[in-house]
Structure 1
Amino acid sequence: MKVSNCMTRNVQIANPEQSIREVADMMGRLDAGVMPVGDNDRLVGMITDRDIAIRGVAMGMGPDAKVRDVMSAEVKYCFDDEDVEEVLENMGHLQVRRLPVLNHDKRLVGIISLGDLATNGEAAEAGAALTGISKPGGEHSQTAH
């Protein structure tokens, strides 16, 4: 199965110049913990509720701080024509639960999550990816670095 068959389309995109307050409000309305950040139709980052809390609030930034100041600029992504098995393996290795989906023109066309994959017939593979994601360590580990 290809990523395009099970990804979420019509993804809301944050702008790097928006305030973290605006993006947090958008996340709340969407019931989402992550949003792609785009500038001129290009993916330039990802922002999570954790970024807002740890890189924003915990570092003393107020609600008017800009998304660009707390987002992750190094974005891992997949392509819409990739096989989901490869993407799931990559998600486990990267220890991420979601990836933005790009076409080969590097335009954002969707987002894929473990939940999308698990509910579209890839439950066993999603479970294997979750095992990799749940291992201690990684970029988002709560252990001291």
Structure 2
Amino acid sequence: MKVSDAMTSQVSVARPGDSIRKVAEVMAKVDSGVVPVVDNGKVLGLVTDRDIVLRVVAEGRSFDAPVSEVMSDGEVLSVKEDDVLADATAKMANNQVRRLVVLNEAGNLTGILSLGDVAKDYGAKQVGKTLEEISQEPGEAAH
């Protein structure tokens, strides 16, 4: 099975200059805890509901500030849409993340693959294994 068979392809995105408030409203509307920040099809970073709580609410920042100020803009972990789903779940486990950005061959955003997507299309057993590996402390051996 390929990543494209399981991913969510209808993804709401933000632009770097969008306000944090606007992005939070999008999250509420589409019931998602993550929004990719995109410019000309390229993913610059991700903003999560956790980013908003820790970097805006906890620090007393303005909700009118641009989302680029609070997004996670380090290396955004990604997979290609034609990658094997099992390899993508292994990448999630190895990097202890619950979602990956999905890119096409040109490097443009085409979707997001989450543990929920994997659960629907790949089976609860694989999700349980991946979640267990994600939840481990770094360096902790699997049992």
One-letter amino acid of the counterpart of residue 123, structure 1: A
- Which residue of the partner structure matches residue 98 of structure 2? 97
- Which residue of the partner structure matches residue 143 of structure 1? none
What is the percent sequence identity of the aligned residues? 46
- Which residue of the partner structure matches residue 8 of structure 1? 8
What number of residue pairs does the alignment pair up? 138
What is the CA–CA distance in structure 2 between the aligned matches of 1:107 and 1:4, rounded to whole Å? 14
RMSD (Å), alpha carbons: 1.4
Match of 2:7, SS? Answer: coil
1:46-104 CA-partner distances (Å, limit 9, x unpaired)? 00000011012212211111110000112111110111111101101111111110011
One-letter amino acid of the counterpart of residue 5, structure 2: N
Match of 1:36, SS? Answer: strand
Runs of 4+ in 1 over 3 A off after TM superposition: none
TM-score, L = length of structure 2: 0.91
Q: How does 1:58-97 map to 2 (within 5 A)?
A: 58-74=58-74, 75-97=76-98
What is the CA–CA distance in structure 2 between the aligned matches of 1:122 and 1:79, rounded to whole Å? 21
What is the CA–CA distance in structure 2 between the aligned matches of 1:11 and 1:30, rounded to whole Å? 9
Match of 2:47, SS? Answer: strand
One-letter amino acid of the counterpart of residue 101, structure 1: V
TM-score, L = length of structure 1: 0.90
Displacement of 1:6? 0.9
What is the CA–CA distance in structure 2 between the aligned matches of 1:122 and 1:106, rounded to whole Å? 28
Match of 1:47, SS? Answer: strand
Displacement of 1:137? 5.3
What is the CA–CA distance in structure 1 between the aligned matches of 2:57 and 2:19, rounded to whole Å? 12
What is the CA–CA distance in structure 2 between the aligned matches of 1:103 and 1:5, rounded to whole Å? 14
- Which residue of the partner structure matches residue 122 of structure 1? 123
- Compare 119-128 and 71-80 and name the one that shifted more: 119-128
Query: Which ranges of structure 1 fall in alignment gaps of 5 or more residues?
Result: 139-145
For the 8 Å contact 1:91–1:98, the answer to whether it is kept is yes
